[in-house]
Amino acid sequence: MLRRAVVAVVLAFPCSWILAQGPDELWEITAKMTVDGMSMPAMPAKVCKKKGDDVPSADKNCRTYDIKTSGNRTTWRTECTGDNAMSGTGEMTRGKGSYKAKLALKSKDAGNMTMDYTGRLVGKCKAR
Estimate to the nearest angstrom the gap between the alpha carbon of 70 and the chain centroid: 19
Backbone angles phi, psi at 20, to 5 degrees: -165, -170
- Contacts of residue 20, Cβ cutoff 8 Å, sequence gap at least 6: 48, 125, 126, 127, 128
Reported pTM: 0.71
Q: What amino acid is encoded at 55 in this protein?
A: V
Core vs surface per residue 43-57: b (16+ CB within 10 A) or e:
beeebbbeeeeebbe
Q: Quote the mean pLDDT of the chain.
A: 80
* Segment 15-64, tens digit of pLDDT: 343 333 468 889 999 999 998 888 888 888 998 888 766 665 556 788 88
Report the alpha-carbon angle 59-60-63, nearest 5. 80
